[in-house]
Structure 1
Amino acid sequence: MSQKLFIVFCFHISVTLASQLRPGFYAQTCPRAESIVRDVMWKAMMRETRSAASVMRLQFHDCFVNGCDASLLLDDTPDMLGEKLSLSNINSLRSYEVIDEIKEALENNCPGVVSCADIIIMGSRDAVILSGGPNWEVKLGRKDSLTASQEDSDNVMPSPRANATFLVDLFSRFNLSIKDLVALSGSHSIGKGRCFSILFRLYNQSGTGRPDPTIEPEFREKLDRLCPLSGDQNVTGDLDATPCLFDNQYFKDLVNGRGFLNSDQTLFSLDNRTREFVVHFSKDQDAFFSAFVEGMVKMGDLQSGRPGEVRRNCRVANNPAHGRNRVLKNRVDLVSNLV
């Protein structure tokens, strides 16, 4: 995808259909929808606390790729490479089975009503609440995509090696501000990351053959023990010092040079525009919570305007062949309008 087309398409995503989303969308058709989602999320977290962070991140990885349409959840088919095996998702995203459990519970209560895209949004919100974070009212009414694209995901999603400057540019393409970027990066207040994501920081930052000098020395020693160069790259480490609690410890860690991911630490160490918000949120948790909620709502508004449906199974389109033909036509129409 050319840079010009990518930028125009991202703007198209950010404005289309957002006005059709509204709180209480299922009040008449599935009044227990939100309570069912929260109940299943709670049970999932009781089995494995890490489920909270995993489900919350599904919103980020879904909404940035052609809008919040649950394209991320589609399994590959013989003639469709979806997003699950894209560079930023493979061996990284997890807890798809939690979404399956939520969908099954909703289908048992009100079949064919609640979209998988809305399940991601509700589940993400509840993951934050149940981890001690803020509550907010979600807007609902999304449709599920008819197809998915590994290429689209690879073209958009950043790697753990990304730095603050790259992230500022990426978020701006979606009409998300620097404040939004830093607040939403606070999603790493909960959860873990793989050693694979930080080996270059520990042993070859920027091709120097040395560790990232911004890592606090004692923290670097801890990471060295956790992630030796010849060790298992799938071993995980905490993204902040309170990985089960949604709080502002993440920002305190960045100020102290104890950020796990390069993309996180550079928010403080590289860019003055992002550093200002990191310092502010490290001192004021309420300000972080408020900005995080605002960013999540804005991200949830990202829509592509493509045809959609309410899937019966979040992993497969209701009619894959029909959906593929409609989306191909939609893409042709979009490109034609840009010529």
Structure 2
Amino acid sequence: MRHTEMPTTPMILGMALLLGFLVTLEAQLQLGFYTQSCGFAEFIVKDEVRKGLMTDSGFAAGLIRLHFHDCFVRGCDGSVLIDSTASNVAEKDSPVNNPSLRGFEIIDNAKAKLELMCKGVVSCADIVAFAARDAVEMAGGLGYDVPAGRRDGRVSLATDTFTNLPPPTADVNLLTQIFANKGLTQEEMVILSGAHTVGQSHCTSFSNRLYTYNTTTSQDPTLDPNYAAQLKQQCPQGSTNPSLAVPMDPMSPFSLDSGYYMAVLANRGLFSSDQTLLTNSDTANQVNQNAVNPYLWRRKFAAAMVKMGQIGVLTGDAGEIRTNCRAINQ
């Protein structure tokens, strides 16, 4: 009979160090981080988001997307907010982000109020995370608690966007890999893709599906023909107007609901990266589940947003607390 050996001292030490490391990871961000230092921080951000949505309900999608594009490039460090300079093209001016990203002025307004009340305390990265949560809730999603304590990054490079953000032409394997690189599962990729139920897309992001799909067919055969005809009216071939845009979910463009999944099932996903979810049995099953159980999807979406908001965060003494979200401190 083989006896179970007691762990050696080095093994115990290693296990203890690993446990300590995991605890440290979980403790990087904290709920109620600003309770003592700036107790009204989250209320101020929410008020500015509410004001912004009163002027344009499309800002909800913009703020959610802003958080996503921030976190997937250098982590959730507010680097997407930094303006370009004479010597550097920043993330926001990458063709991946410009002109599609919106909501910068809402972040600016919240930061200005917070600097008056709690100078040098609340990071721009946390403001983006709070604002995204508020936008989710105001668009009909479930509210959720946002752990805070993020610090702001000092580097913003347009070139980083090309390899870190999923393109609208991505297939399911590439999407899965890009999300896995950020510590997110394939299921979380499908869940977060549901954010495409709100907002608009510029015609240039999907016009290839209408006019230049491949060498044998001009139109993507997986696209519902009636929907394709509608899109062609809204996005004429050869148009040079870069501002032409259409709702990503025409049925409920301002409501965070399961309409996205219904559209994908009807072959009305706007991007190739939407429709590709039906080409894999696992992701197709998830699309079906999310379509028939919208409340469960809302719960999973809230949890996935919390997890996404912790990608590559800077905490402690790393980074800085920017005075102006558009520029690093001098």
Pick one of 258, 267, 281 that aligns with 2:290. Answer: 281
Structure 1 unaligned segments of length 5 or more: list them: 1-13, 320-339
- Tell whether the 8 Å contact from 1:83 to 1:148 is kept in structure 2 after alignment: yes
Q: Which residue is 2:327 aligned to?
A: 316
CA RMSD of aligned residues (A): 1.8
Q: Does 1:246 align with 2:246?
A: no
Displacement of 1:80 in angstroms is: 2.7
State the SS of the aligned residue for 1:132: coil
> In structure 2, how many angstroms separate the alpha carbons of the residues matched to 1:16 and 1:172?
22
Residue matched to 1:146: 154
Q: Specify the alignment match of 1:298 in structure 2.
A: 307
1:208 maps onto 2:207 in alignment: no
Q: In the TM superposition, what are the counterparts of 1:217-228 in structure 2 within 5 Å?
A: 217-228=225-236
Distance 1:102 1:238 in 2: 27
CA deviations over 1:205-251 (Å, ceiling 9, x no partner): 23434211111121111111111112234211111120111111111
In structure 2, how many angstroms separate the alpha carbons of the residues matched to 1:17 and 1:69? 16
- Pair 1:63-2:71 in alignment: yes
> Shift of residue 266 of structure 1?
1.3
Residues of 1 paired with 2:89 and 2:26: CA distance? 27
Return the TM-score normalized by structure 1: 0.86
Bigger Cα Rg: 2
For 1:287 and 1:179, locate their aligned partners in 2 and report how far apart those are by CA, in whole Å. Answer: 13
Determine helix, strand or coil for the equivalent of 2:253.
coil
Counting only pairs closer than 5 Å after superposition, residues 75-86 of structure 1 correspond to structure 2 as 75-86=83-94
Note closer, same or farther for the CA distance 1:228–1:132 as it changes in structure 2 (3 Å cut).
same
**Number of residues of Structure 1 aligned to a counterpart in Structure 2:** 305
2:118 aligned with 1:110, yes or no? yes
Match of 2:109 in 1: 101
Q: 2: CA distance between counterparts of 1:184 and 1:16? A: 26
Q: Which amino acid aligns with 2:188?
A: D
Do the aligned partners of 2:61 and 2:199 also contact (CA within 8 Å) in 1? yes
Show CA shifts across 1:244-287 (max 9, x none): 1111111111101111122112112x222211111110000112
Contact 1:87 1:154 in 2 (8 A): no
Q: Give CA deviations for 1:66-93 in whole Å, capped at 9, x if unaligned.
A: 1100011111123332111223112211
Query: Take 1:16 and 1:295, find their aligned partners in 2: how far apart are those partners?
Result: 21
TM-score normalised according to structure 2 size:
0.88
Distance 1:23 1:304 in 2: 15
CA distance in 2, matches of 1:16, 1:157: 28
- Structure 2: state its 5+ residue gaps: 1-21
Q: Verify the 8 A CA contact 1:202 1:210 in the aligned structure 2.
A: yes
Amino acid at match of 1:107: E
